[in-house]
Amino acid sequence: MTPARRALRTTAAASLSATVLAGATFVLAPGAQAAPAAPASAAAADTSVRFVDIPGDGGVTLAANVVAPADTSRRLPLVVLPTSWSMPQVEYLAQARKLADSGYVVVTYNTRGFWQSGGRIETAGPPDVADASKVIDWALAHTAADPGHIGMAGVSYGAGISLLAAGSDKRVKAVVSMSGWADLIGSIYSGRTQHAQAAGLLGGAGALTGRPSDELKQTLEDFLGSNLAKEPEMIEWGRKRSAATYLDKINANGAAIMLGNAWGDSIFPPNSYADFYDKLTGPKRLEFRPGDHATAEFGGLFGLPNDTWEHSRRWLDRYLKGERNGIDQERPVQLMSRTGGGYEGYASWSAVPSERRRVALDRAETVTANHDSGANAGTVMLTGALDQFLRLPPLASIPLLPRSYAAVWQTGAYATEQRVRGTVSLHTTLTSDKPDGTAVAYLYDVGPLGVGKLITNAPVTFHDRTPGKPFPVDLDLFSTAYDVPAGHKLALVVDTVDPLYIEHNPDGAHLTFSSPDADPSYLSVPVRD
């Protein structure tokens, strides 16, 4: 490593006073004091921090840090931390020091194509997965890492790569995947609808801080340009980058996997993790809490007290060190409601709701497309954070929503609190006078004054339908935990425009939602007693 490059890295570590995840700056909760990540010179006397270059797949050089106890007289468990999208290699220094202080060798590295690492951005493609194994190889050859006790962890992009590595490298015994994805297409193309703000943000941040591959640039162009002729290729591109595709290999390798996400994650909604968790057969844990993309982990990147990182260290201690710390005896599904309270433990994801309450949608509604009704799901990377820190989800005055642009169904006021837990599902019959279209469903908690607080939402898009011919629609809204107060109502609103998504409604289109006697429409709401 050249002296200039070493100086650049040290300067970056010392000046990291604001953290940017996936290209967006987060604001801490009121009253929280953020300190910059400590530079190498401030490391504890018994912990060393050094910057290194690691040869990745295909000869690409990866910029990395090794944080480890100074005493290397014995083998120690290894934790590898790939950086988040657009983040520099010093992202995890505060947490790496905590791990090293407790007896780990930690290697954090900049994923290829970003900052000082070589190559181009492959978006968790095969070269990125191969890089993870190359980093493990290097650590075993150049540090006191124990080959029998290897884990991977990360936030966002690093979380996705860590999960994928668990399916490709049998040496990985434990994984902590925070604010990541298991199904990339299911995350940013759910309901066959492009999540425009999420994809645009990732693309812009990648171009600003890295070197996108030609494949990534073309995929983003086709995706955001609604090039349906390339849809099969885009889906295959995403499938290769999804841990769900390699579920059998992950289960066969048997790594202990902990998944954590925020209810309001506007880049990787929680449904992807919930579905994947149910299918894992090895030791596993699932945590959902309030927030937006990576906001739950944010404070921990500065070394602040943070339950997400604390739980992660306990998970690694149990499955890499063998410590009997009790985390494997706790109920494996841990949820925190968006409306307050501590963690709730469940034996499985399917056990989260006590029952499902069906709300009949027995009135036909017709809306005119291409008009924003005023119902919307907010802004990527911001809305969930406002909900987390200020309890301020997107609001809408339900009585004032224009009924020509928004279909609205409401329940009566509930006599008791309704604790919504899990995935709300919509079943309806849709008729359009155009072959293509998009609808967005929103579920609101409506107070006595008619003001609705957004509980959850999801989009759905259709193509090549016969105009005037009804067809069934089944839509899972994004999973959530929300307590509806006694005296409030639930309102389902469906319109055709939301800034988060690309809509496919031709000019002048009309969508009719009906409830045939042979196939009644309904909303299925999971609740906890």
User: What is the mean pLDDT of the segment spanning 184-208?
Assistant: 97
- Choice among 7-16, 72-81, 141-150 with the minimum mean pLDDT: 7-16
Q: How far apart are CA 319 and CA 88, in angstroms?
A: 28
Q: Are 481 and 338 in contact (CB under 8 A)?
A: yes
Share of the chain above pLDDT 90, in %: 90
Q: Residue 438 gets which letter from DSSP?
A: E
Whole-angstrom CA distances from 213 to 210, 216, 217 are 10, 5, 6
For residue 405, the model assigns a pLDDT of: 98
Query: Mind listing the pLDDT tens digit for each residue in 344-396?
Result: 999 999 999 999 999 999 999 999 999 999 999 999 999 999 999 999 999 99
For residue 1, the model assigns a pLDDT of: 44
Q: Are 352 and 216 in contact (CB under 8 A)?
A: no
Give the list of residues 6+ apart from residue 210 with CB closer than 8 angstroms, or none: 86, 113, 114, 115, 120, 121
Cα four-point dihedral sign 363, 369, 374, 379: positive
Query: Mind listing the pLDDT tens digit for each residue in 31-63?
Result: 333 333 333 333 345 899 999 999 999 999 999
Q: How far apart are CA 497 and CA 372, in angstroms?
A: 5
Query: Mind listing the pLDDT tens digit for each residue in 413-432?
Result: 999 999 999 999 999 999 99
For strands 480-484 and 395-397, give the pairing: unpaired
Query: Mind listing the pLDDT tens digit for each residue in 104-120?
Result: 999 999 999 999 999 99
CB neighbourhood size of 58 (10 A): 12
Q: How far apart are CA 395 and CA 150, in angstroms?
A: 46
Question: Would you state the structure tokens that stand for residue 395, as one six-digit string?
Answer: 């609001």
Buried b (16+ CB within 10 A) or exposed e, 254-275: ebbbbbbbbbbbbbbbbbbbbb
- Choice among 68-82, 230-244, 253-267 with the minimum mean pLDDT: 68-82
Confidence (pTM): 0.90
3-class DSSP string for 305-346? CCHHHHHHHHHHHHHHHCCCCCHHHCCCEEEECCCCCCEEEE
